[in-house]
Amino acid sequence: MRCLWAASWRSLRRKTLHSSTSSSSPSSSSLSSNLKLLGPNLPDVWMVPGPSSSAFRSQSSAANGQTANVINGKSIARAIRAEIANEICRMKETIVKSPGLAIVLVGGRRDSRTFIRVKLKACEEVGITTYVEEFPEECTEDEVLRVVSRLNNNPSVNGIIVQLPLPQHVDEERIVNFVSPEKDVDGFHPLNMGNLAMKGREPLFIPCAPKGCIELLLRSGVEIMGKRAVVVGRSKIVGLPTSLLLQLAKTGSCCSGYGDQSSSGSWR
């Protein structure tokens, strides 16, 4: 969810910062500070925010005496949502606008509808305006492209999600690549993925699952830089971008797992 801020704040930050600098009130100063936390912010993403979170607890293994740490993701998620809700509230007070997220759904897959319900509920909790564009399974590729084009040009829409997978007769790559890179909150556009892979570049968006993993580690007080890391799987949704993020963190070594996918399903 936090990735949605990159586009929203890029389009609105200039006006907001102007309002903040023209006022000396504490709330304006706080808003300016909060703006720095939004979006990918890669130069600072590896900084541990503070001491280990209370969501981080240890468990000992009776087999070898080693200690494993269990992260309570739910408590961290609640904290992040509270922070985002507060940021949006400040945004509304300052510039009377809130971020807008559009979701494109093609077909009636039960799992896709479940994912969308979760996203809509999360957006409602923090104050994000949502738009849902639904198509029947038999719709044409051009129909989807026309709607994506309209959303690209809609100033009220700051982020676009094309719910995957798409029906087989629709070219998934063509649809995903047609989304404006500045509204590609999934981070799947070649421009965003390419910038993530290149040293010294900063993508407009980072895929949410890999960024969520990094966020969990950092908020739990885990130092990432210099560590050895293994990513099991190399999909473009999770495995590949996670490996790229860890390489940016200068991990000692990082590799993606390979294996026989026929017996265990698709690797992520």
Give catalytic residues, as residue numbers: 119, 163, 186
Q: Give 164-212 as a DSSP string.
A: SPPPTTS-HHHHHHHS-GGGBTT--SHHHHHHHHSTT---S---HHHHH
Residue 164 is encoded by which pair of tokens?
């995957």
How far is it, in rounded angstroms, from Cα 75 to Cα 102? 27
How far is it, in rounded angstroms, from Cα 81 to Cα 103? 20
How far is it, in rounded angstroms, from Cα 247 to Cα 6? 22
Look at the block and give the residue holding tokens 């963190």.
249
Query: Is residue 76 packed enough to be buried (19+ CB in 10 Å), middle (13-18) or exposed (0-12)?
Result: buried
Q: Are 3 and 206 in contact (CB under 8 A)?
A: yes
Of 98, 99, 97, 135, nearest to 116 by C-alpha is: 135
